Amino acid sequence: MSALPVLLLLLVSTPLTSGAQLPNQGQDKDLPIATNGEPFPWGRMRLPTTVFPLHYDLTIHPNLTTLDFTGVVRIQLDVREDTSAIILHAKHMQISNVLLLAPEGVRPLRLLEYPRFHQLGLLSDSVLIKGRKYEVQLEFAANLSDSFHGFYKSSYRTSSGEVRVLASTQFEATFARGAFPCFDEPAFKANFTIQIIREPRHIAISNMPKLKTVELPGGLLEDHFDTTVKMSTYLVAYIVSDFLSVSRTTQHGVKISIYAVPEKIDQTAFALDAAVKLLDFYDDYFDIPYPLPKQDLAAIPDFQSGAMENWGLTTYRETGLLFDPDKSSASDKLGITKVIAHELAHQWFGNLVTMEWWNDLWLNEGFAKFMEFISLDITYPELHVDDFFLEKCFEAMEVDSLSSSHPVSTPVENPTQIQEMFDDVSYDKGACILNMLRDFLTPEAFEIGIIRYLKRYSYQNTVNSHLWESLTNVSLKIKVIKFTVYRVLDWYSGDELDVKAIMDTWTLQEGFPLVTVEVRGREVRLSQERYLKTDDPSLTEGFLWQIPLTYMTSASNTIHRFLLKTKTDVLYLPEDVDWVKFNVDMSGFYMVHYAGEGWNSIIKVLQHNHTALTSNDRASLIHNVFQLVSIGKVKLDTALELSLYLSRETEIMAVTQGFGELVPLYKLMEKRDMAALENQMKGYIVDLFRGLIDKQEWSDSGSVSERVLRSYLLLFGSVRNYPPCLTKATQLFKQWKDSDGNMSLPVDVTMAVFMIGARTPEGWDFLFEKYRSSLQMSLKSRFKAAMAYSPLQDKLKWCQSLHGEVMKTQDLPGVVVSVSKNPHGYKLGWDFLRANWNTLIKKFDLGSSTISHMVTGVTNQYSTKEMLDEVRSFFGSLTEETGSGMRCIQQAYETIEDNIRWMDNNLPLLQAWLDKHSRRTIHEDL
């Protein structure tokens, strides 16, 4: 921990005559002032390490009528240095009756509050002596939060229109302190014994099973829960609701239950199956039994993020857990399974072994994201989850290519900075560098190493280096095992393996490398630099990575390996080749530029025999070549020539990446007055994929990847007014509407049908009525998306409502971003964000991924100097309290600047190429 070490405290503190110390004694001039005007005995945001909690005895009584709660907490303490002050956290609550329970008796403590750091100081008039056992007891009261964190109010409407209220928790990262006084940092692990007082019409659930229920005066009930294992405060959870549940037991004897509102309990069967299968998988894979007797999964009607891994009681958005086999799509199934896999992986990575501080959040989130793919590949092979992994790496590169990015492991102090760590770098880049390391060490060595890491640090807190040590030791042993010796020789060339030295270059510096490859006969010249979207070359200097390069050639299918540790190096091929492809299957987190004739060689392969390369290789080539246009390494016409091969592409990752690079080009034009070029570009993309679109049936047949791709292609064809799609979608919407929504549409085509239906006022109103009355979560999501993409401006304004009466406030950020992507609504999204900024940051919290998603999602397609000035003017007017320092604002500026640069540099080229291509197409047709 980076709180002041005990030794340093002793050096800077002046002992009291009694031999005790205040944590900040001797620095009075720097001490903050408590709410009562006295000096507060601690001046840092991080808690001192003089006192640690051992056990919390917590009783909570929420009142779902008055929407407040009261409670009492007794905390058993481990005093590690003589002190006369206990510093802990509490936020927005009234504290009373603060007592010290000492060996010599009970006495009151003086209470000081410092709201800026959410800290309480409990001052004793005599010394708390190192090594002796003490307890403190505090009574507290607060309102249920009306945000989505702390102990907060949620509600739902029954089909008869009755509104029902429940209370649920969300404590990650720094919100347990809003529910009860506690040491709210991940390294202050303790055991928790929880009692919850409720009315008979509700149930209460928490991390552990209920032991007994006691009747209290006044008709109330008190549920007593078993004591938890040793864990961090952010993992504590409890819910008071009228939920129903379904249960099953795993092969390892763990009871799994899914909780949901009564009218949706019939949508829980799939999640129950998935949770049982995945918990059994992790139990075996990690070779560590799941340590609790039960695992509950609860679908909360109001939930800001996707889900939360509270130990033994994971919580989810309803869309992340509820599944209807008749109305949910293939991508719904994939999404639900991935989120359950993610949260259950956390029961080991994050809960059992926890990062010491939030700077290493990636140890939790990168691993859970990575394990989604490892676990589902084995437990649900039919989902073809590998088809979707690259997308995570491309999303991470998008953020990591900006100068406002941050290292995977980066210093953070205040709650806003901590919240900002929950981003694509911690999750997706974290997962991608773990995937690279697994490929580098071999899956066998990697699995042995992470099991060793989990076993060695169970119930403890870790830093980056603990993981690298666990993996280095295993890998060194595996060097002598016969079956991997060929891999080791490939990589290490006799050098001693140092996983830490390699991985520090990926976790302690931001960004990622661009490897330039130039083939001259059998000589391959390599160089590395930082890939950065900027016009300031000085920002790319001083970066060096140890890069596990992989490559294959036209002459052999063997994957060759080479660890590039220096700025430049040379490889020698055993024979002449027509082409070389580096970063095989894009298992490494780097881009590749093929200098000289390299790109032309690649384009020839793709045009004449694209299946010589895997679909992941093809997707990464599409991604790399278009990204290299952004920094001027490749001319736009080279990238567009490469894209021509897509007319023969059928695999989901390569097709969607083709769309992912081409569609944003006309989205930038939509924000400028250039309809002719914009329509030319749209026409090119439709033309490119017409053959594949024509092959799609309007049905639900095929594998998950085929179904997800079908949904994507038919939606694109319909929205772009491609006549066969437009006609079919219009006809299906009319039939569906005429049947009052009772006709059974193929799930895969519903998005296209609803999007076309939402274009007319009558169609939009019909979708709205269906949205209002539906209890089916994935169907509601599709209604909502279609309504937000309507060309009808007055309807789009309705979508952006803060009242939450029909559309849940949790869904608002996604809708605002959808409206902003709509060519008829992009200014509406921006105007809404500005007008409601203060309300939004209060509801969704400064630094949260929700706010970040809104800021970047609303602005990232702007491409004019006027819009950049408008965005700068608004965000420049904010104060620190209203978010001026947030990283997402810098990302927004950089992205718009990059868009402007791209348009200025490439529009004439794009116009010329499209003119030439359309002439070429006409000539070919003749």
Which amino acids are annotated catalytic? 343
Alpha helices in 739-760 (DSSP H): 750-757
- Crossing angle of helices 675-694 and 887-925, in 10° steps, is 70
Is residue 700 classed as helix, strand or coil in its secondary structure? coil
Residues contacting residue 28 through CB under 8 Å, at least 6 positions apart: 39
What is the dihedral sign for C-alpha 643, 645, 650, 651?
A: negative
Distance CA 110, CA 35 (A): 13
Q: Does 342 count as an annotated binding residue? A: yes
DSSP of 494-514, one letter per residue? TPPP-HHHHHHHHHSS-S-EE
Residue carrying the six token digits 């994935």? 778
Distance CA 397, CA 588 (A): 12
- Contact 657/622 with Cβ under 8 angstroms? yes
Residue-wise burial string across 623-659, b where 16 or more C-beta atoms lie within 10 A, e elsewhere = bbbbbbbbbebbbbbbbbbbbebbeebebbbbbbbbb
Q: Give 864's strand partners.
A: none
Token output for 693: 């679109």
Residue carrying the six token digits 């790399």? 624
Residues contacting residue 535 through CB under 8 Å, at least 6 positions apart: 901
Q: Give 612's strand partners.
A: none
CA distances from 164 to 65, 149, 242, 276, 842 (A): 10, 19, 8, 30, 24
Edge-first strand order for the sheet with 547-553 is 556-564, 547-553, 580-582
Question: CA nearest 369: which of 399, 349, 394, 398?
Answer: 349
Distance CA 926, CA 922 (A): 6
Question: CA nearest 205: which of 185, 181, 226, 219?
Answer: 226
Token output for 738: 């005429």
- Crossing angle of helices 723-738 and 750-757, in 10° steps, is 80
Residue carrying the six token digits 């085929």? 706
Q: What share of the chain is helix, strand, coil (3-state, %, to 5)?
A: 45, 20, 30
Edge-first strand order for the sheet with 255-260 is 244-249, 255-260, 294-300, 313-317, 307-308
Residue carrying the six token digits 């949205």? 771
Distance CA 907, CA 864 (A): 13
- Crossing angle of helices 464-478 and 430-441, in 10° steps, is 20
- Contact 631/531 with Cβ under 8 angstroms? yes
CB atoms within 10 A of CB 89: 21
Distance CA 892, CA 898 (A): 10
Residues contacting residue 521 through CB under 8 Å, at least 6 positions apart: 576
What is the dihedral sign for C-alpha 673, 675, 676, 681?
A: positive
Query: What pairing do the DSSP bridges indicate for beta strands 353-355 and 460-462?
Result: parallel
Give the total residue count for the chain: 926
Distance CA 326, CA 778 (A): 11
Token output for 624: 């790399």
- Contact 268/322 with Cβ under 8 angstroms? yes
Annotated binding site for Zn(2+): 342, 346, 365
